[in-house]
Amino acid sequence: MATETLTLGKALNTGLRRALENDPKVVIMGEDVGKLGGVFRITDGLQKDFGDQRVIDTPLAESGIIGTAVGLAIRGYRPVCEIQFDGFVYPAYDQIVSQVAKMHYRSQGKVRIPMVIRIPYGGGIGAVEHHSESPEAYFAHTAGLKVVTCANPQDAYVMIQQAIASDDPIVFLEPKRRYWEKGPVDTEAPLAEAYPLHSARVARAGTDATVLAYGPMVRTALDAATAAAEDGRELEVVDLRTLSPLDLTAAYESVKRTGRCVVVHEAPGNLGLGSEIAARITEECFYSLESPVLRVTGFDTPYPASRVEEEYLPDLDRVLDAVDRTFGW
């Protein structure tokens, strides 16, 4: 086993490199993905090594990126599209929800769009507007799209390759504020034996309450669990990883043991993933629950100016506060 210590960003870069090596039909396309290596350097060095036919700097038009990727997919390619920031995916929204998502259905299974749409998402980096959003619910709400998100370098490395290998169109959400976090990555384990893409995973075992999180909030939830442990409370943290389809098997099992559940995400609470998750947990674990499922989310406002984003974003205190409330019910 060859374990390297990589940042989450470098793990994605390494995973993309693998995908390009393994399948000549894989092409990367997006704004500034070539010489610049993307504004976050996730495609750093790839154009140099694979050429500008495989790592394509596109004109500045998101609808064009996704629309042409549909055509490439029909032609047999496996496009991996980079959207520069979450807030810039919307010009492509029509192509994604009306075209990408429905091709397989409309063609009665004859057309596959094995496309990956990579989107750095979420806040916490002090950015100006449109650079900190969490659009996952828009995509998870759309039948025909799958939505996944990674929370650590190992998953980043594996999941990006699994997403590219999958014949489903997949929105691949990258927690941009965690790009620089380091962790061990096994770069040699065979992909076929890897943990399945559309499965959640327990990130920390615990007995007193269950915290469900994904993407950038997994780190926050784990920090909350560490803090709670100092106060003698053991939180179980589940990293959901797949947002559509949701995999709540581990969550159900956990909540049936703990009786308490808090869902955390950065996106606004109203009709966010947390709503669906809370409903399902309630249906599945009703007789085990000691309190309602609580949500810790961004507020139902536009993403605010960066000087107040700390207060907007769920943090350790807000997670612990919610956990406390499940005990006070």
Ligand X SMILES: Cc1ncc(C[n+]2csc(CCOP(=O)(O)OP(=O)(O)O)c2C)c(N)n1
Residues labelled as active-site residues = 131
Q: Which is nearer to another protein, 49 or 300 (CB)?
A: 300
Q: What separation in angstroms does the CA of 318 have from each of 159, 187, 325?
A: 29, 36, 10
129 binds ligand X (CB under 6 A): no
Task: Choose one: 63-71, 84-92, 115-123, 317-325; the region binding ligand X (CB under 6 A).
Answer: 84-92
Q: At its nearest, how many Å lie between another protein and the CB of residue 260?
A: 19
215 contacts 121 by C-beta, under 8 angstroms: yes
82 binds ligand X (CB under 6 A): no
Q: Which does 270 bind (CB under 5 to 8 A by kind): another protein, ligand X, none?
A: another protein
Q: How far apart are CA 253 and CA 261, in angstroms?
A: 11
DSSP state letters, 245-259: TB--HHHHHHHHHH-
How many CB atoms are located within 10 Å of the residue 32 CB?
A: 16
Q: How far apart are CA 106 and CA 119, in angstroms?
A: 26
Q: At its nearest, how many Å lie between another protein and the CB of residue 73?
A: 20
Q: At its nearest, how many Å lie between ligand X and the CB of residue 161?
A: 26
Among 25, 88, 282, 316, which residue interacts with ligand X (rule: CB under 6 A)? 88
User: Position of tokens 């995916």?
Assistant: 89
Query: How open is the CA angle 99-103-105, to the nearest 5 degrees?
Result: 125
Q: Which is nearer to ligand X, 15 or 120 (CB)?
A: 120
Under rule CB under 6 A, which residues in 18-37 are in contact with ligand X? 31
93 binds ligand X (CB under 6 A): no
Q: How far apart are CA 319 and CA 228, in angstroms?
A: 10
Q: At its nearest, how many Å lie between another protein and the CB of residue 36?
A: 4
Among 64, 67, 91, 259, which residue interacts with ligand X (rule: CB under 6 A)? 91
Q: Which is nearer to ligand X, 42 or 285 (CB)?
A: 42
205 binds ligand X (CB under 6 A): no
Q: Which does 64 bind (CB under 5 to 8 A by kind): another protein, ligand X, none?
A: another protein
Under rule CB under 6 A, which residues in 52-81 are in contact with ligand X? 60, 62
132 binds ligand X (CB under 6 A): no
Q: At its nearest, how many Å lie between another protein and the CB of residue 252?
A: 29
Tokens describing residue 282: 């309630």
Q: At its nearest, how many Å lie between ligand X and the CB of residue 142?
A: 20
Q: Which is nearer to another protein, 59 or 232 (CB)?
A: 59
Tokens describing residue 228: 């709670």
- The residues binding another protein (CB under 8 A) are 31-32, 34-37, 39, 57-61, 63-64, 87-88, 90-91, 126-130, 270, 299-302, 304-308, 311-312, 317-318, 321
Binding interface with ligand X (CB under 6 A): 31, 60, 62, 84, 88, 91
